[in-house]
A and B are shown apart, each in its own frame.
Chain A
Amino acid sequence: MADSKHIVLRHLDIGKPIIKLKDYEKRAGGYDGFKKAVKMEKSAVIDEVKASGLRGRGGAGFPAGVKWSFIPQNEPIKYVTVNADESETGTFKDRLIMEQNPHQLIEGALTCAYAIGAKAVYIYLRGEFWDVAHMLDERIEEARKAGYIGENILGSGFSCEVYTHLGAGAYICGEESALLNSLEGKLGQPRVRPPFPAQKGGGLYGEATVVNNVETLANVPWIMVNGADEYKKIGTEQSAGTKLYCVSGNIQKPGVYELPFDTTFRELLETVCGGPPEGRSFKALLPSGGSGPIVPLTDEVLDTRMSYEDCAAIDTIIGSASLIVMDDSVNIAWVASKVIKFFAHESCGKCTPCREGTYWLDKVLDRIMAGQATAKDIERIDDVAKNMAGITLCALGDFAANPIIHTIKHFKEDFLAMAEGKELAQAGD
């Protein structure tokens, strides 16, 4: 197995959570990266992150340094917004970072703020992370007292504030433009783009804004200390560094595991997680939560590296790396119905294809699950899903179509058995 290196979950190397500032400074070299950054030219910090190949860990995998470089340096007001809305089914990594190694996120966000010249950082947490937000407020206060936040930070002339903001239960607010609307006190619905958040007029309060995921920013301190070249040595050519893989479902040892991108599904699911429950075998995998294409857990898939490019080659995505495992006791039509209920509930209602599409997919799937449907209904939902994809303001329309299109593509026999009432046993019931 590939060597395990903790870049983000550094508390695992130390053996206990790194909560207090003095522990982070003494035991994990905390804020060394930020101290180094504020002595550098802003553009040099962006160049270093760009050269590292760090890609966005929220799902889209967009190069972080490139995103930072889009911010116009001459604008007087700029912002950093941390996406801690973590709501994708099966994703539970950002919560772990904030609970166990919170200062590393704050340091990474401050480094980004320095590089783009932002006056404030807003950490947008999903409302359910109520306890996490209050704990994070204490850590922010510690950093402020130590001079890492506030006016003229470390004598650099750079001033910046850091705040938390709690959402209130809406998956859509993990979409960056909906998140910005929500932070502005509006309904959490996506915006028409362009202008993009990085552009004047497109970001928070109309100002140029970087929106980055928690895990993305938590990688930055390590990159600043060890350099882009060292970072690039980890992972694969197009997927540098490590990833926090969330494993849940029918698996012996569920949890979050930080591993290099060149690790295979087999190494994670069989070696690290101990395989499927006793007496069961693997059937299928959602590698990126409810929103990514499902794949049958064949030997070919198991031997695939969990990188952006390797997953694309097997017709799926690694996305936020939320691996939901299904064993041979699970009917995949039931999986599709569960995931569609999620999206029908979470559709913000702005775009008709998504709002109406998810509603009707849910209705027809209920009929299939009740054994009161025909093969024609399976064709119907496939058709509805294909007509939703690519025509909505945000990606939720595509996310909601994926579970239908790909489950039918790989597991049509499960739908047929369920539709015609041949199989009523289902996992969890």
Chain B
Amino acid sequence: MAVIGNKKYSKQIEHHFSKYPDKRSAVMPLLYIAQEEYGWVNDDGIQEVAELCELDPTHVKSIAGFYTMYSEKSKGKYWLQVCTDLSCALRGADEFHKDLKAYLEVEEGGTTDDDLFTVEHVMCLAACDNAPMLQCNFHYMENLDMEKMKAWVEEKRAELQKELDA
């Protein structure tokens, strides 16, 4: 596994560097690439991004720590971030968040034993009219209820089982 020299990312990296007059500006898009490669922003990813952007690894690590969308620990295959901010909470998001954790049998920020789901709450995701809602690996799922979530969770579990059987 690597970011540097990985053909999968070379065009993307080149594109990001072409956008800015200063290599430093590419640190955020490149951290996303490192996260895609390793599943989270680990030390190898930090080192590689630092080398590419010609920055000190300490600086890259501080960027990764400042922004919440870079994960500093490994997550389940589906990273579920439930908005529990005021607008969503007024439409039942706190209860939805609690019920989802109970259904998956995880604590806040925890991952299920099969490594499929990680659940945590986040601040406003700018989808307040479609609450309850969550972000699953950076894609929005809106107008949710536990019925829909249970069906979705079971579908993903069945997919995993199918993969294991194969």
Please tell me if the beta carbons of B67 and A169 are within 8 angstroms of each other in the complex. Answer: yes
Which residues does chain A contribute within 8 Å of B62, judged by CB atoms? 187
Q: How far is the CB of A350 from chain B (nearest CB, A)?
A: 11
- Give the residue of B53, B86, B93, B129 whose beta carbon is less than 8 angstroms from that of A254: B129
Complex: how many Å from CA A319 to CA B62?
Answer: 32
Q: Which residues on B sit within 8 Å (CB–CB) of A348?
A: 66
B124-A88 in contact (CB<8A): yes
Q: Say yes or no for B140: interface residue by CB 8 A criterion.
A: yes
Q: Taking A184-B22, A428-B89, A428-B90 as contacts, is the C-beta distance between A167 and B129 under 8 angstroms?
A: no
* Residue pair A342, B128 in contact (C-beta under 8 Å): no
Residues of chain B within 8 A of A128, CB atoms compared: 69, 125-126, 135, 138, 140
Asked whether B68 lies within 8 Å of A168 as measured between CB atoms, the reply is: yes
Cα A167 to Cα B122 in complex, Å, equals 16
Q: Would A169 and B128 be within 8 Å (CB), given that A182-B28, A185-B63 are in contact?
A: no
- Residue from A89, A130, A330 in contact with B87 in the complex, judged by beta carbons closer than 8 Å: A89
Chain B residues near A167: list those with CB within 8 A. Answer: 28, 67
Asked whether A165 is an interface residue with its Cβ less than 8 Å from the other chain, the reply is: yes
**Which B-chain residue is minimally distant from A336 (CB atoms)?**
B86
Contact size range, B: 35 or more
Tell yes or no: A114 within 8 A of B by CB: no
Chain B residues lying within 8 Å of A250, measured Cβ to Cβ, are 90
Is residue A345 contacting chain B, with contact meaning CB distance below 8 A?
yes
Residue of A with least CB distance to B140: A131
Q: For the side of the interface on A, what is the size category?
A: 35 or more
Chain B residues closer than 8 Å to A249, beta-carbon distance: 86-87, 90-91, 128
Q: Report the Cα distance A256→B22, complex, angstroms.
A: 38
B49-66 interface mask toward A, CB cutoff 8 Å, 1 = contact, 0 = none?
A: 000010100000011001
Interface string of A246-290 (1 = CB under 8 A from B): 111110001110000000000000000000000000000010001
Could you say which residues of chain B place their CB within 8 Å of the CB of A186? 24, 63
Q: Which of B28, B86, B90 has the most C-beta atoms of chain A within 10 angstroms of its own C-beta? A: B86
The answer to whether residues A256 and B126 also contact, given A170-B66, A249-B87, A427-B90 and a CB cut-off of 8 A, is no
- CB contacts (< 8 Å) of B125 on chain A: these are 128
- CB-nearest residue of chain B relative to A427? B90
A257 to chain B, nearest CB (A): 10
Digit string of B24-48 for contact with A (CB within 8 Å is 1, else 0)?
1111110110000000000000000
**Given A169-B68, A250-B90, A342-B86, does the pair A86, B22 have CB atoms closer than 8 Å?**
no
Whether the Cβ atoms of B129 and A246 lie closer than 8 Å is yes
Within the assembled complex, what's the spacing in Å between the Cα atoms of A131 and B123? 19
Q: Does B5 make an interface contact (CB < 8 A)?
A: no
B26 touching A87, Cβ below 8 Å:
no
B127 at the binding interface (Cβ < 8 Å): yes
Known: A128-B135, A167-B28, A185-B53. A324 touches B86 (CB 8 A): yes
Across the interface, which residues of A come within 8 angstroms of B90, CB to CB? 248-250, 324-326, 330, 427-428
| Contact status B68-A170, CB under 8 Å | yes
Q: Choose the segment among A36-44, A54-62, A90-98, A227-235 that binds chain B (4+ C-beta atoms closer than 8 Å).
A: A90-98
Q: A87 contacts B126, CB within 8 Å?
A: yes
The answer to whether the Cβ of A11 comes within 8 Å of any Cβ in the partner chain is: no
| Binary B-proximity of A300-314 (CB < 8 A = 1, otherwise 0) | 000000000000000
Question: Nearest 10 A-B pairs (CB), nearest first?
Answer: A168-B67, A169-B68, A185-B24, A248-B128, A254-B129, A248-B87, A169-B69, A130-B138, A168-B69, A428-B89
Besides A90-B128, A165-B29, A250-B90, 14 more A-B contacts (Cβ < 8 Å) are A88-B124, A163-B19, A169-B68, A184-B24, A187-B62, A248-B91, A249-B87, A256-B129, A324-B90, A330-B90, A338-B85, A338-B89, A428-B93, A428-B95
Interface residues of B (CB under 8 A from A): 19, 21-22, 24-29, 31-32, 53, 55, 62-63, 66-70, 85-87, 89-95, 122-129, 131, 135, 138-140
* Interchain Cβ contacts under 8 Å between A and B, 8 examples: A92-B129, A167-B67, A168-B69, A169-B122, A248-B129, A250-B90, A338-B89, A342-B85
